Amino acid sequence: MRLKLNAIMEEDMVSLPFVMWDRFWEGEDGATTFGWIAREDSYKDFVYISYEYNSIKSRREKADVWDMFWGTSSERYTKEIGEILTKSSKHNDCRRVEYNFDITNCIVLTK
């Protein structure tokens, strides 16, 4: 992994102390890290941060440029995560797969 990206990822992960980081994937053009936020009901919400190498901006700026994307299932922390990572507090609600897709390989909540 490129040293600059490693430093960026570490900085972003440390900036979210309520997330317990679990795994990451890396490739030639990017990386993604995954973590969990503990909840009071004993469930956990997921968080991911994904980085993609931007070759056009990198050539123009003569330095490595990484575009960052993130997502979470945490309604409680989504605004805080956005403010920390992207200076934006926009929230998008997660939706249940079983309510929106006709597939059998998904988690189905029992009532």
Report residue 45's pLDDT band, with 50, 70 and 90 as the boundaries.
very high
Q: Which helix (H) or strand (E) holds 79?
A: helix 78-86
CB 21 within 8 A of CB 44: no
Tell me the pLDDT tens digit for each residue of 54-111: 999 989 988 888 999 999 999 899 999 999 999 877 767 778 899 999 999 998 987 6
Which tokens in the block code for residue 5? Answer: 């990206």
Residue 62 covered by a domain:
yes
Write out the residue range of the structural domain in which residue 67 sits.
Answer: 3-100
- Average pLDDT rounded to a whole number, residues 37-58: 93
Residue 88 covered by a domain:
yes
What integer pLDDT is reported at residue 87 of this predicted model?
Answer: 87
What integer pLDDT is reported at residue 41 of this predicted model?
Answer: 92
User: What is the total count of domains within the chain?
Assistant: 1
Residue 37 covered by a domain:
yes
pTM over 0.85, yes/no: no
Residue 107 covered by a domain:
no
Residue 106 covered by a domain:
no
Residue 108 covered by a domain:
no
Residue 110 covered by a domain:
no
What integer pLDDT is reported at residue 19 of this predicted model?
Answer: 98
Residue 61 covered by a domain:
yes
Which of 26, 28, 24 minimizes the C-alpha distance to 55? 28
What integer pLDDT is reported at residue 81 of this predicted model?
Answer: 94
- Average pLDDT rounded to a whole number, residues 12-38: 96
What integer pLDDT is reported at residue 111 of this predicted model?
Answer: 60
What integer pLDDT is reported at residue 60 of this predicted model?
Answer: 92
